[in-house]
A and B are shown apart, each in its own frame.
Chain A
Amino acid sequence: MPSRMVRLSWLLLLPGVLLASGCGGGSGRPAEGPGADSLADRPAPPAPNEPNSDLAPASEPAEAPRRPTLVLEPSSVILPADATGVQVLVTRMNPDGTRRDVTREAVAWRTSSDDRVRLEPSGYLVPNEGGQGGTETVTAIFEDGDSVSAEVVVERSAERPWDFATDIVPIFTRFGCNGGSCHGKADGQNGFHLSLFGYDPAADYRSLTRAAGGRRLSLTDPDSSLMLLKGLGRIPHGGGPALPSNSEAHRTVREWIGAGAPEHRGADHGQLVAVEVVPGDLRLAEPGTHQVRVVARFADGQQRDVTRLSRFEVRDDATATVDDRGLVTLLRRAETDLIVRYRTSVISTRIGTRMNPGLEFDFTAIPRRNLIDEHLFARLEALNVPPSPPADDAAFLRRVSLDLTGQQPRPDQVRAFLDDPDPDRRVKLVDRLMADPLFVDFWHLKLGDLLQISQARFGDGVYRYNDWVKEQVASNTPWDEFVHTLLTALGNPNALDGGPVNYALEGQDAREQAELTAQRFLGLRFRCAQCHDHPFDRWTQDDYYGLAAFFAKVGRAIPGGDGMMAPGDVRVNPEGTIAHLRTGEPAVPTLPGGEVASVDAEIDPRTVLADWIVAPENPYFARTAANWAWAQFFGRGLADPSDDLSDSNPPVHPELLDALADDFVSHGFDLRHLIRTIATSEAYGLSSRPIPGNEGDTRLFSHQAPRPLTAHQMADALAQATDTELLFNLGRGSQGTLRSSKAVQVSDPAIPSVLLDTFGRCPRVAGCSTVATPTLSLRQALLLVGGNAIDDRIGRFDGYLSGLLELEPSHAEIVENLYLRTLCRKPSAEESEHWSALLDEADSVRDASEDLFWALLNSREFAFNH
């Protein structure tokens, strides 16, 4: 994060920025000069022709003579005999941390010898064939006389080493040969099967050298190898020409075949240890192009440039593009992620610019209440996107009441909160709401959505399951314990203590159990690993069946003919297996990522998986919970969709998500602590009204966004505002039919309610979003305007309005009371005057009051949590 001083000097570097007000205003308001510009909606300005240093005015602060520095990466590199080349990168690093790629602007590249290496204009350095080994100094020279050098050690040996997994397999991945829509799909393509993205090099080697009678490779005449003829498209190939003729990859494959197509020869580098994209967080001064490098590190310490063996994709191709050699073009002032695959590794890295050039905002003046604010505002400062000011008290009260308990605040609560002078009133409010029994109901509902607890899925066990989850919310069972219990419970799902046993009754078989578990608790979408062909999903069929194998020994009741579960215990079935689709063999329990789990024959393999899932070190578990909780308060996750934390769906603020997850872990997976941390953050309490500089932001959380009331919130708000009862039939209990008047206590979607259905409660049948993001529809508007949802309630003689009018209030009092009940705020003077006048003129005050009441409940402000 740049210091204030750095930021100041950065501003000085920009022409046309007026610094009259300085940056110490402390008002928290941005400068609204002509340079203020909205976020991310400007066309890309042309990249400057000159480095920024030339724009630096003479009036640079004397104490900080900062100029961009010229950097050549890597500054020293070893080129082993089996390396094909290295991407060299020359960058002007600006003092504010932004950078500009000038590799292609070098007017000359000088090398200390004539024959060892040559450089392509893109900065790709290639050792010359037949060249000598030795140390080479490479110098890039620029028009302004600047130059920068690096040292390259070129290693040569009589015979280069070969490793099929390192030298050849990445080529298959790079050119899409082993993707899920080609030879990488489960049964291969036209008889030729490769492991998906090359996760099983040994099998690929067999497939290439032994299957098909060895015709795929011709050791005596490499060019007549079927693999090359097809790959180059010289004979008919379903995938067309996949490998560019005469490319480096083509030459490597030919050379490898010519060398006898060895699986290993010479030095062994060992396993792939890490893959890194350089630069890791690419911040450009302006939209423009920048080369990235991809470096793989192996167990023996060797580092190899694999830029040309990697596949690149940007998440948002309207913000940036990338070519197949890793040259990124940022098209506009915005930010997105570059996603890089090398073999089975997927790495994402941010690319973007600072926004709002010329906009000055004092980020230091924003209060930071906890770690969320520290991380969020640091990011916003780095991007120069100002956060909106805090929401006013009435809006905050309504928002946090709806988000914590599903209820609107009552008029007396609104008045009390607005009159409370305590500076800590917001925190106290959060604590009061979290102690409300309806908090338990509302979060039970949310967890019920996550776990899809419904009669349709669980039959009669649904009652025990619901009771159990609600008890855990009420007693605030730590999340790790909660999930561990769910994943390992055995016994009778209908017994008094059988609630969590129901988890094992879900899905058709072990595979679906694995899919659901991975998605809910780890944010991983394993379903895709069976068949789909997205080029950036790393989970393989082996991972999929390895995970499913943990559930294979769950012996459970078979669904009866009527679709209901037959009664029966869930117990360990020692004989249970799940057959791997490709091999047909029983799958071996394997943790995602490849670690085979040792499971004693007697125990439920799920306990081993559950231990791994809830371990504090698990990279997915806490982050998935933190992201889920975040989404409940902001309508979208830090990673969005919020149930997808795969490598190809990076969160918008990864540092924040990590910190929130770490905090969750260090507080013993305390859900209430997590919820409270979010609810008491300054970030959550921001206004939904944008300010100059963050108007276009829909992803950075620089302001809140109006969210439609959820089905349950809407139903309870309508009932509470009108003092009418909702009546839900909750089914049979020991005391006869149970009824509830609170929608948030209606968890099971089987309980009929037109209102809840129309406003989009989660049906909890098939896939359901992890966040209840209500979808708006014409049907809802019809129900409110033409249906009985509102009209029946306001006119009732036992309803609120009748009672109010009996007290013979003044017209202004009618208006104020109706506002407090519906919008949870007092009317402004203008509003009060307007509606009082309307009541004054009305033939029937009752009719006119009904109309106002109705209109308030049909207003935009009521419909949204803003």
Chain B
Amino acid sequence: MRSTPPSRSCPGPSRRAVLRAGVLGAFGLALDDVLRLRSLSARQNAYGTRPTLDGTPRAKSCILIWLSGGPSHIDTFDPKPDAPGEFRGEFDPIETSVPGVRISEIFPELARVLDRVTLIRSMTSPEAEHDRASHHLLTGYRPSPALVYPSMGSVVSKVRGFDASTLPPHTAIPSAPLFASSGYLTPAYDPFAVGGDPNQDGFRVRDLTPPDRLTLDRLRRRRSMVATLDRFAADAVIDTPLTTSRDSFADQAFDLLTSGAAQEAFRIGDEPQPVRERYGRTQLGQSLLLARRLVEAGVSFVTVNDQGAGPVGWDTHLDNFPMLRDTLAPPIDRGVSALIADLHERGLLDETLVLMMGEFGRTPRINDAGGRDHHGRANSLLLAGGGIPAGLVLGATDAHGDQPVDRPVSPSDLAATVFTALGINPEHRFETPDGQPIRLVDSGHAIQELS
């Protein structure tokens, strides 16, 4: 059991950002002051004194970098230079900033920040089909015919609640992976998909600023009329997970539209050019930068959904090696190393858990098309920040990278680890709409070495 007190190393930046945004916001001071104060006090509650289902938080927020399609573990973090040619692949391992730990040459920048990172080389799941494996990795539960389980992000957002920030507590950039959803929880905890491409000039989130002719005063009046109507109709349209979610979305929309601070967080164009360059002027790089801005502004769980250059993402059944080397790896290498360094320099790394993974690893044997196929038994993932130890490599796979031979870690263990880092007791139970109590994690335990 972890006894470290909640991280208080850097209470400042996010609140300062809110203050600055409030003053500079588009709607003048009077109304903003009220909203800002309300959201500030809510935030202090959420981060300071509010218990989070009996856990002790170390991290305030989590950035999940989802490598959609399933990256090859052997060609990224678990190289097998001594395996026969049909397994080894084309890439050589390189030294990293952790003596003795080598990763694939396609990640030279990540190699330099590896001392701030922990690798798990023994993630394992029986699922090797995209949707089923995504469900397993993103929720910690194997897919069930009876129930869709909530993603880690949805669980975190339910525990943290909506008052932690005016911003949606669970946000995906630019889109949400399948099964990053709220599952049996209400859709209110679905990720808010930002949409668009943060790397494009003039990037903005649609409908986030009300029409000019609509004054804030009038918007507030209308909001209270909606509340009255909904009260009148409470008997006609009963509370269900869907109806209350819709109310919750409407509330969030009103909050966002009347909060300059919230809108400020999405204005990636305000970042200095060197910072934007540092993350790389790619969709992925700028998505990671936007993720940093959002956690600074109080978003609890940000998913950056990396789909590579096209619909198949990291699903390299064909031409695995050129795809990885030329297309998939470079934006990740630059962007994620910049994110880790930037968070560290800002003093935010301790309170931000960074997690990078895909739904499965890929087959050790290279197929006839120069690709690798789905492989659930072995998968590698990267963790950083959030108060977990750095510079570790946990677990190992056999000589061909076929399955773990040491310290196998299940998706359920991973979920327990993430929840524990964020101060959520994995033993806690939520109820499904028809009243079944369900544990937050299936049967897993937080990884001891990381707590």
Contact surface of A with B, Cβ cutoff 8 Å = 39-41, 181, 238, 315-319, 334, 336, 395, 528, 531-533, 648-649, 688-690, 696-699, 705-708, 754, 775-788, 791-792, 795, 823, 828, 830-831, 834, 847, 851-852, 854-856, 858-861, 863-864, 866
Q: How far is the CA of A852 from the CA of B246 in the complex (A)?
A: 19
A852 contacts B225, C-beta separation under 8 Å: yes
Asked if B145 is an interface residue, CB under 8 A from chain A, the answer is yes
Task: List chain A residues, Cβ under 8 A from B432.
Answer: 318
Task: List chain B residues, Cβ under 8 A from A40.
Answer: 434-435
Most A CB within 10 A of own CB, among B226, B245, B433: B226
- Known contacts: A533-B126, A859-B230. The answer to whether A785 contacts B257 by CB under 8 A is yes
Task: List chain B residues, Cβ under 8 A from A775.
Answer: 187, 190
- Known contacts: A315-B146, A706-B238, A785-B257. The answer to whether A831 contacts B232 by CB under 8 A is yes
A532 contacts B129, C-beta separation under 8 Å: yes
A861 contacts B207, C-beta separation under 8 Å: no
Q: State how many angstroms separate the Cβ of A320 from the closest Cβ of chain B.
A: 11
Task: List chain A residues, Cβ under 8 A from B438.
Answer: 318
Q: How far is the CA of A851 from the CA of B223 in the complex (A)?
A: 9
Within 8 A of A (CB), among B221-254: 221-222, 225-226, 228-230, 232-233, 235-238, 240, 242-243, 245-247, 249-250, 252-254
Contact with A along B190-210 (1 / 0, CB 8 A): 101101000000000011111
B232 contacts A858, C-beta separation under 8 Å: no
Asked if B436 is an interface residue, CB under 8 A from chain A, the answer is yes
Q: How far is the CA of A164 from the CA of B89 in the complex (A)?
A: 44
B249 contacts A778, C-beta separation under 8 Å: yes
Task: List chain A residues, Cβ under 8 A from B128.
Answer: 531-532
Contact with A along B361-375 (1 / 0, CB 8 A): 000000000000010
Interface of A is mostly: loop
- Return the contact of B249 from the options A705, A781, A834 (Cβ within 8 A): A781
- Return the contact of B233 from the options A317, A318, A861 (Cβ within 8 A): A861
In the assembled complex, 29 residue pairs joining A and B whose CB atoms fall closer than 8 Å, in A order, are: A238-B403, A315-B145, A318-B437, A532-B129, A689-B238, A706-B240, A706-B243, A776-B190, A776-B242, A776-B249, A777-B190, A777-B192, A777-B249, A778-B249, A779-B206, A781-B249, A781-B250, A782-B208, A786-B208, A786-B253, A787-B206, A791-B211, A792-B211, A795-B213, A834-B228, A858-B250, A860-B233, A863-B246, A866-B237
Q: How far is the CA of A754 from the CA of B434 in the complex (A)?
A: 35
Q: State how many angstroms separate the Cβ of A287 from the closest Cβ of chain B.
A: 13
**How many A-B pairs fall under 8 Å by CB?**
163
Q: State how many angstroms separate the Cβ of B294 from the closest Cβ of chain A.
A: 14
B232 contacts A781, C-beta separation under 8 Å: no
Q: A689-B236, A782-B256, A786-B207 are in contact. List 13 more A-B contacts (CB 8 A).
A: A318-B436, A395-B236, A531-B374, A648-B145, A690-B238, A775-B190, A776-B246, A791-B211, A828-B232, A851-B221, A859-B229, A861-B233, A863-B246
Interface size band for B: 35 or more
Most B CB within 10 A of own CB, among A532, A648, A785: A785
Q: State how many angstroms separate the Cβ of B371 from the closest Cβ of chain A.
A: 16
- Known contacts: A781-B252, A786-B253. The answer to whether A532 contacts B247 by CB under 8 A is no
- Known contacts: A689-B235, A779-B192. The answer to whether A861 contacts B436 by CB under 8 A is no
Asked if B30 is an interface residue, CB under 8 A from chain A, the answer is no
Task: List chain A residues, Cβ under 8 A from B434.
Answer: 39-41, 334, 696-699
Q: State how many angstroms separate the Cβ of A71 from the closest Cβ of chain B.
A: 31
Asked if B335 is an interface residue, CB under 8 A from chain A, the answer is no
Give the nearest-CB partner of B168 in chain A: A778
Q: How far is the CA of A839 from the CA of B208 in the complex (A)?
A: 30
A864 contacts B190, C-beta separation under 8 Å: no
Q: State how many angstroms separate the Cβ of B339 from the closest Cβ of chain A.
A: 25
Q: State how many angstroms separate the Cβ of B387 from the closest Cβ of chain A.
A: 30
Within 8 A of A (CB), among B247-275: 247, 249-250, 252-254, 256-257
Give the nearest-CB partner of B437 in chain A: A318
Give the nearest-CB partner of B233 in chain A: A861
Asked if B281 is an interface residue, CB under 8 A from chain A, the answer is no
Q: How far is the CA of A792 from the CA of B214 in the complex (A)?
A: 11
Q: How far is the CA of A473 from the CA of B230 in the complex (A)?
A: 38
Task: List chain A residues, Cβ under 8 A from B240.
Answer: 705-706
A855 contacts B229, C-beta separation under 8 Å: yes
Asked if B445 is an interface residue, CB under 8 A from chain A, the answer is no
Nearest 9 CB-CB pairs, A to B?
Answer: A318-B436, A41-B435, A781-B253, A855-B225, A787-B207, A781-B249, A782-B207, A861-B233, A859-B229
